[in-house]
Amino acid sequence: MKNSFRKRTNVLLAKAFTRWPVLGRLWSKTAPITTSTDVPWTPMSKPLSDCRISLVTTGGLHLKTDQPFDMDDPQGDPTFRVIPANARQADLAITHNYYDHADADRDFNLLLPLDRVRELALAGHLAGVTPSHYSFMGHIDGPHVATLEREILPALVGRIRTERPGFVFLTPA
Amino acid sequence: MGLIQRGIEAAGIPTVSLSILRDITERVRPPRALFLRWPFGHPLGELGNTAQQFTVLHDAFDFLYTAAPGEIRDLPYPWRRHTYSMPAAWNLKATHPMS
């Protein structure tokens, strides 16, 4: 019952934020986010044309053949899904009830610009596109934050490293 | 998303991200972020506008080399009130993504 109420509240808030973006910005001023003091930093060491790219989005994108993100948990889902570099529009779906993804349902490049970076690689502006790209469902709250930091993130970073991208490009929902 | 970006950068891989909520990004402090005052669900822009998508990508990739640590740069594009052309440095043709 409590979970159901929280889920409904999340959906209503998301609809309001989509319709009136100013509300989203007001919410973000008071959202319970820990403030970091340091900034991790790795300088670019190669030109773009020598870099392979990996993409990460938090827009809830996944292969239709994969398990959808868990929308039953009002505190979200900290897990990620792999999007292979050769994924096409017809292969993909979005499971995320907390923003309006009607446009991204028609063109996933609005969230994860895989077609665009493939075109850049073909033209030689990038060295290539790594075999795997990654998608989260951006709503990660409560105990899932610690799970993300302690378990999911090290696993993600380990996977990304094996494919040796020159850099990673990340997009929100 | 900023936590994920910080984790990847800390592992020795450079990162750049787009931000739709500046206040959150300011507190999470990712290494490099470009802020767009655009609606949720459209970090790369409007449906069908590949010149816009390439423009955002070009700005993001350029920022990889020009950002100071922790910098959040505001991109100057108003939502639906800007005409995009293909980035001059990239020899590409705009295509319709659904074609």
Cα→Cα distances A125→B54, B57, B58, B63, B87, Å: 12, 12, 10, 15, 12
Q: What is the pLDDT of residues B28-73, one digit of tens each?
A: 999 999 999 999 999 999 999 999 999 999 999 999 999 999 999 9
Q: Is B57 an 8 Å CB contact of chain A?
A: yes
Please give the model's pTM, rounded to 2 decimal places.
0.91
Our measurement of the distance from residue A23's CA atom to the centroid of its chain's CA atoms, rounded to an integer in Å, reads: 22
Q: Is A109 an 8 Å CB contact of chain B?
A: yes
Q: Do A17 and B28 touch (CB under 8 A)?
A: no
Q: Is A162 an 8 Å CB contact of chain B?
A: no
Q: Chain A 4-63, CB below 8 Å of chain B: which residues?
A: 14, 17-18, 21, 24-25, 28-29, 31, 33-44, 48, 56-59
Q: If you average pLDDT over every residue of chain A, what do you get?
A: 91
**ipTM of the prediction:** 0.94
Q: Is A163 an 8 Å CB contact of chain B?
A: no
Q: What is the pLDDT of residues B1-37, one digit of tens each?
A: 899 999 999 999 999 999 999 999 999 999 999 999 9
Nearest to B98 among A33, A106, A136 (CB): A106
Residues of B in contact with A55 (CB under 8 A): none
Q: Is A110 an 8 Å CB contact of chain B?
A: yes
Where do the domains of chain A lie?
A: 1-31, 48-171
Cα-flanking dihedrals φ and ψ of residue A6, to 5°?
A: -65, -40
Q: Kind and range of the H or E element at B87?
A: none
Banded model confidence at residue A23, pLDDT cuts 50, 70, 90: confident
Q: Do B90 and A125 touch (CB under 8 A)?
A: yes
Q: For the purposes of burial, counting CB atoms within 10 Å of the CB of B3, is it exposed (0-12), middle (13-18) or buried (19 or more)? A: middle
Cα-flanking dihedrals φ and ψ of residue A103, to 5°?
A: -70, -45
Burial A111-140 (b: 16+ CB within 10 A, else e): bbbbbbbbbbbeeebbbbbbebbbbbbbbb
Residues of B in contact with A43 (CB under 8 A): 14
Most confident of the ranges A2-16, A93-107, A112-126: A112-126
Q: Do A113 and B5 touch (CB under 8 A)?
A: no
Name residue A124's amino acid: G
Closest by CA to A112, choosing from B93, B66, B56, is B56
Where do the domains of chain B lie?
A: 2-73
Mean pLDDT is lowest, of A17-21, A139-143, B29-33, B76-80, for A17-21
